[in-house]
Amino acid sequence: MAHDENKAFLRRMPIFVGIGESQLEMLAAGSVRRSFPRGRSIVAEGETSQSFYLLLSGRAKVQRSDSEGKEVILAILGPGEFFGEMSLIDDAPRSASVITIEPCDFIAVNKESFKAMLASSTDMCLAIMRGIVRRLREADKKIETLALMDVYGRVARVLLDFSETVGGERVVKGKLPRQEIAKMIGASREMVSRVMKGLEVDGFIVPVSEGRLLLRDKINLYLN
């Protein structure tokens, strides 16, 4: 029963669109479904990699920390995204930690099944490569943002990246803590709080409920 359920979940993942039944069978045979509460570390920076993960629901942050405990958030993952493939490909320790920021459901595929699937499927190799390239492009955009924009521009970029179109308006639907924004843009929590207050006073953002923000179109001015 668990095998069939895992196969059904895998079939619905965007990365596996067009993948043959034999590859799905191989992955399902080596996979388990897991649920994690908010604040749980799924993988830890520096540890040996044993699994490839696919996020079914919830959100998780990818972060690194230095010897003094200072943290930086590299990415936020949502449903349909995956992680853990890099360490399985090059057998190096994990380069970052992944921590849930809300309750999450995952499918974990063991190392042997993941590598066997890559060896048997050119389409799967290309799908993984596309995912890695997408992350590289996102990293390039983040580097550009940090290098060329002031703190207002960086905060605006994060808010827009996390927003959705609802009724023709841009809305940040989930709660986005100031501390998390600070870790994404290389600023202090206090600075982010001042910038958010300034954006609100000047009418660039409008709080509409607990943790929910309406973004006015003029916020794009900070990206120019």
Cβ contact 205:196 at 8 Å:
yes
- Check residue 58 and report its DSSP letter: S
pLDDT per residue as tens digits for the range 62-102: 999 877 778 888 888 999 999 999 999 998 999 899 999 99
Could you tell me if 48 and 93 are in contact, meaning their C-beta atoms sit under 8 angstroms apart?
yes
Other C-beta atoms closer than 10 Å to the C-beta of 186 total: 14
pLDDT at 1: 57
Among residues 162, 170, 179, the alpha carbon closest in space to that of 215 is found at 170
- Total-model pTM: 0.78
Q: What per-residue confidence (pLDDT) applies to 8?
A: 85
Q: What is the pLDDT of residue 67?
A: 73
pLDDT digits (tens, 9 = 90+) for 29-53: 889 999 999 999 999 999 988 899 9
Average pLDDT of the chain?
88
* DSSP annotation of 15: G
Helices (H) and strands (E) in the chain — how many of each?
A: 8, 12
Q: What is the DSSP string of 146-164?
A: HHH--HHHHHHHHHHHT-E
CB 20 within 8 A of CB 124: no
Say what the pLDDT of residue 15 is. 84
The pLDDT value recorded for residue 219 is 92
Instruction: Report how far residue 198's alpha carbon sits from residue 178's, in angstroms, rounded to the nearest whole number.
Output: 14
pLDDT at 143 (0 to 100): 85
Pick out the chain residues at pLDDT < 70.
Answer: 1
